[in-house]
Structure 1
Amino acid sequence: MELQEYLDQTEAVEQEGFKVDDEQKANWALRKIAQFQNQQKQNNELATIEISKIEDWNKSENERLQQSIDFFQSHLASFAMEQREKDAKFKSMKLPNGRIGFRKKQAKWNYDDKTLVKTLKENNLSDFIRIKEEPDKSSIKEAFQVSDGKVINPDTGQILDGVYVSEQEESFEVKVND
């Protein structure tokens, strides 16, 4: 018999109709919570190991399959190149199981943001510069005071529109010893 089972039997606690009405039962409830949390931790560790194994298997299988896909795609590319050599206007070929062909790609734009912004400013092209405005919430919390849910500038007494502080109720907390 495990220690937990023994303690449960000696304290004769049943879940149905159970009520914490003394320190001994409160301590027992904490011990049970710790036991369940430990089981959750063990379950999570086991699941993580199994998930890792499955992910490794999936990666291995997909890499193997990708090698086969790459093999056939390279042969199809060679075939398409041969078709283009025979006919310079060759673009694509529709077949019962799909299509092969060439497609012109869009030009790729590569940006150096700092240099570009500098150049736009120097050439008075600021219309092409986006400016993102947002409140600095952490600075606001430090600099302003709260009264009846309203945020007030302590220097001027002015109420700051656009923010309201709602007080939260106390929450019950249970901490068990490991």
Structure 2
Amino acid sequence: MSLQEQAFQSQEMRESFVIDTKEKAVWALRKLAKIRREMEENQSIADKEIERIKLWLEDVNGALQKDAEYFESLLQAYHRMVLEENPKAKTIKLPHGTLKARKQEPDYIRDEEKLLAWTKENQPEAVKVKENVDWSTLKKMIVSTENGVAIDENGQVIEGITVVDRGIKFSVEVAE
């Protein structure tokens, strides 16, 4: 029998298998526990290999990174020298790359409390007021739901909420 025929036969058996007794459920839980252990072992092996490869990459690229930083610093020094002679030489095109110099926006270190107090007093139009629903408080006020409609404790329909019944969630916990 070919692998394809075995796979087809196995699929047919899976489709016809039903758990209808406690014994079959116990067997299925044992099988599931074994499968999960094997998956964890595979993950562990993969994690170790990934870590080994990361260490190798750090090792082989470490010296290369130092060389790259060295040449970048030399190129930056060259570009500074060219900029001193010609302030318009912000871009230098070369056969194997381009050197670019761009003025950056300043960085602002902010003390939010002091800044907010000053802004409220001096530039109130630059203050944002953000309103949002306190969902945990509102959720406690929802008394009942019918046909996807949320109702508060006074019987008023709460607009903006559609209740979706999610049914029963089943999960399987396998004892280790």
TM range (shorter): 0.7 to 0.9
Q: Is 2:71 aligned against 1:72? A: yes
Identity %: 30
**Structure 2 length-normalised TM:** 0.77
Which residue number corresponds to residue 121 of structure 2? 122
Q: 5+ residue gaps in structure 2? A: 1-9
What is the CA-CA distance between 1:88 and the residue it aligns to?
4.8
Which residue number corresponds to residue 139 of structure 2? 141
Q: Which residue type is aligned with residue 163 of structure 2?
A: V
User: How is 1:46-57 mapped onto 2 (pairs within 5 angstroms)?
Assistant: 46-57=45-56
Q: Is the 8 A contact 1:83 1:90 kept in 2?
A: no
What is the CA-CA distance between 1:130 and the residue it aligns to?
1.6
Q: Is the 8 A contact 1:117 1:129 kept in 2?
A: yes
More helix by share: 2
Equivalent residue in structure 2 for 1:163, among 153, 161, 164: 161
Q: Which moved more, 1:132-141 or 1:76-85?
A: 76-85
Distance 1:140 1:61 in 2: 57
What is the CA-CA distance between 1:162 and the residue it aligns to?
0.5
Q: Is the 8 A contact 1:94 1:100 kept in 2?
A: yes
Distance 1:57 1:138 in 2: 49
User: How is 1:1-178 mapped onto 2 (pairs within 5 angstroms)?
Assistant: 16=13, 17-84=16-83, 87-89=85-87, 91=89, 92-123=91-122, 125-148=123-146, 149-154=148-153, 156-178=154-176
Counting matched residue pairs gives 162
Change in CA separation of 1:36 and 1:143 when aligned onto 2, cut-off 3 Å: same
Q: Which residue type is aligned with residue 147 of structure 1?
A: T
**Structure 1 length-normalised TM:** 0.76
Q: Residue 160 of structure 1: SS of its match in structure 2?
A: strand
